[in-house]
Structure 1
Amino acid sequence: MSTAHCVERAVVTGAAGFIGSHLVDALLQRGTTVLGVDRRSPRDNAMAAENLASALGRPGFRLVQGDLVTDEIKPWVDGADAVFHLAAIPGVRPSWGDSFGEYVACNVLATQRLLDACVSCSVPRLVLASSSSVYGDATGKGPLHEECLTAPLSPYGVTKLAAERLALAYALAPASPTSVVALRYFTVYGPRQRQDMAIGRMLRAVRTGQPLRLYGDGRQRRDFTYVADAVAATAAAATAEATAEAVNVGGGDSVSVLDVLSRIAEITGAEVPVHGDTHQPGDVQVTEADLTKARELLGYEPSVTLAEGIRRQWRSLSVVAPDDTYGSKESR
């Protein structure tokens, strides 16, 4: 097993995204110098501007607008103690059909190019954002541990598994200078959550009164992970003793969508308006994480309950989206 160096300089890809922007804030708070990389610019993307509002202008932070698929990467990662690779195209349903080529480019090819650059520049550690989607459905299997069969049920999940296997292969190559920890996030939620994700859509449905499109019967279960817990695990992965490891990051409990709707009604004082729809391709019935390895390797313990996390997200909600439809599978 190897140990990454102390993280004085970090690179965060996908820095303007949901988890990426929270990670940037946490690293800056620790005194780490951070280079953020994202295709979006706060100058012309409102969500990027909102997500990075607390980081922009702070000492120690620089944002580069760049594309991992086409741009030269080595200048960004040269001299970094750790690279946190969170850039990807998310979403199960949009990954079917003609858009798959873009998923492959952004989730697989971009990861391979970044790995090449990290190895060339002798970056000690790459932390990869993987996904619970690599497992497929956990129905009847109990909490899934990292040695369980990976059987993704969507093109998105296939690209995340491919990226993960690529990263671990690079780390296991003879004399590789770059070790890898791939984090399998389970349905991360909280302030700044992507607008296509479940809890944010539920809360906006309460705000707007526009019905939430609920796919399936609501009995599908998700292991919801509060973003601050996901970030704590991600930061810990930069210095964990590891060479090539995949690690679950979950919330510690698998909860039905119906139960989430009930908790939101209690917290907001209003029922979530719902419009039922059919089960969609790629959706899984159950996700549930075994956190034994995360506890042992990362010292990870989820600290924010689902009820408290929903309260925090409800208090932070400031953008009302006009189109609130619920997709039952979110991985990041």
Structure 2
Amino acid sequence: MQSPWPAAPEPRRAERVAAGVPDSAPTAVVLGGTGCIGRHICAAFSRQGYRVVTVTRRPVPRVAPHPHRRLDLAAAEPAALRAVFEDERADVVVNATDMAGATDATGAADGGEARAAELLDANEGLARRLVEALSTPARGPRLIHIGTIHEYGPGESGVPLHEDVEPAPANAYARAKLAGSQVVLDAARAGAVSAVVLRLVNTCGPYPTPAGFVGKLLPTLLAAAAAGEPPSVTVGGAMRDWIDVRDVAEAAVLAARRPVGGHAFNIGSGVCVSMRELVGHALAAAGLPDSGVRETAGPLRSLGADWIQADIGRARALLGWSPAFRLKESMRDMWDAGETSR
């Protein structure tokens, strides 16, 4: 992919040479590149020979040892975003932020009208500013926008969610995420930008977000292992599709390189498992007994339905992507890493 931006300023070129990156290497700019998903996306692009630049409010060198641009994405205007992309000669821009700060698939998703407006601005607002920043008469950088399976709404038990399902999000978080994804898809289909949306199921694997169920489970297991006692874990009867963050990262790289603009892709394992099975794999990885696990049949506080599974046929066909990590392996690698993304 040839960058539409002007030649890199000499200091940036010197930075590439010092880092051992060929001056001709393509550049991937990852917004939210130090988060749970972003850090793995950075690593995947780097493995493919890209020069990677992270954009966040604060650098986290130990998480993402790449060139960093400090920018408050919640407030950055299109001109500021465009200046970063031009300066870095971006070939790919990945929006890996979750600026809504959603609790997770087991937490509260609504919080009144004020919270709903905040969620909408964080998602749709940033998407609109990104589209404006990337709109150019020439072929601009490919935008990879990270969405969520919850944009479709609860769906029907036993029926995998396909991209052609009419979205019917059930809460403020999902509505805000859908609004952001729709802005990107509308702009791509109108020819204003080159972009795709990846709609993720629940994520797992090394360095999970501390806001999610898996990220909350890990500290519980670590504390139990340190104390030499069975952990106390309560799980509901929900069935979920889980995808390893490293599989998400590989999907992002493929989406950047394939001629698939204007599409949304479901990124999941295509397999639905119980929460009890997920916890069982985590306990086995930690070498802990399951005697402290309790199941509840009560109502779940969730972003989606009690049963979620993604149809991943489009990603297989158009991206050439398939998940590589099994749930058991993801839980083992999470345990071996030993910490959340913070």
Alignment match of 1:150 (pick from 155, 167, 170): 167
Q: 1:100 aligns with which of 109, 116, 119?
A: 116
Partner of 1:265: 283
Q: Which residue of structure 2 aligns with residue 183 of structure 1?
A: 198
Amino acid aligned to 1:69: A
CA 25–320 in structure 1, closer or farther in 2 if over 3 Å, else same: closer
| Cα distance in 1 for residues equivalent to 2:300 and 2:62 | 37
For residues 199-251 of structure 1, the C-alpha deviation after alignment (integer angstroms, 9 at most, x for no partner) is: 2322322222464454xxx2211110011111000111001112300001002
- The answer (yes or no) to whether the contact 1:90–1:156 under 8 Å persists in 2 is no
Aligned pair in 2 of structure 1 residues 161, 102: CA closer, same or farther (>3 Å)? same
Which of 1 and 2 has greater Rg? 2
Q: How far apart in 1 are the matches of 2:141 and 2:286?
A: 46
Shift, 1:302, TM fit: 0.6
**Offset at 1:108?**
0.9
Q: Select which of 302, 305, 309 maps to 1:288.
A: 309
2:69 alignment partner, one of 63, 68, 91: 63
Between the aligned residues of both structures, percent identity stands at 26
Amino acid at match of 1:99: R
Q: Tell me the CA shift for residue 141 of structure 1.
A: 4.6
8 A contact 1:138–1:285 mirrored in 2 = no
Contact 2:150 2:303 in 1 (8 A): no
Distance 1:262 1:290, change over 3 A: same
Matched residues, number: 301
C-alpha distance in structure 2 between counterparts of 1:11 and 1:95, whole Å: 31
Q: Give the corresponding residue for 1:251.
A: 269
Structure 2 matches for 1:15-54, cutoff 5 A?
A: 15-39=33-57, 41-42=58-59, 49=60, 52-53=61-62
Alpha-carbon shift at residue 137 of structure 1 (Å): 1.6
Asked if structure 1 preserves the Cα contact closer than 8 Å seen for 2:109 and 2:172, the reply is: no
Task: Give the match's secondary structure for 1:108.
Answer: helix
1:164-216 superposed Cα distances (whole Å, 9 cap, x missing partner):
1111111122x52x2211001111111121112122322322222464454xx
TM-score, structure 2 normalization = 0.80
Change (3 A) 1:192 1:65: farther
In 1, distance between residues paired with 2:123 and 2:323?
27
Relative distance call for 1:34 and 1:198 in structure 2 (3 A) is same
Determine the structure 2 residue equivalent to 1:76. 84
Q: What CA distance in whole angstroms lies between the structure 2 residues aligned with 1:139 and 1:315?
A: 36
Contact 1:85 1:126 in 2 (8 A): yes
The residue identity in structure 2 corresponding to 1:200 is G
Q: Which runs of 5+ in 2 are unaligned?
A: 4-24, 225-230
In the superposition, the TM-score normalised over structure 1's length comes to 0.82
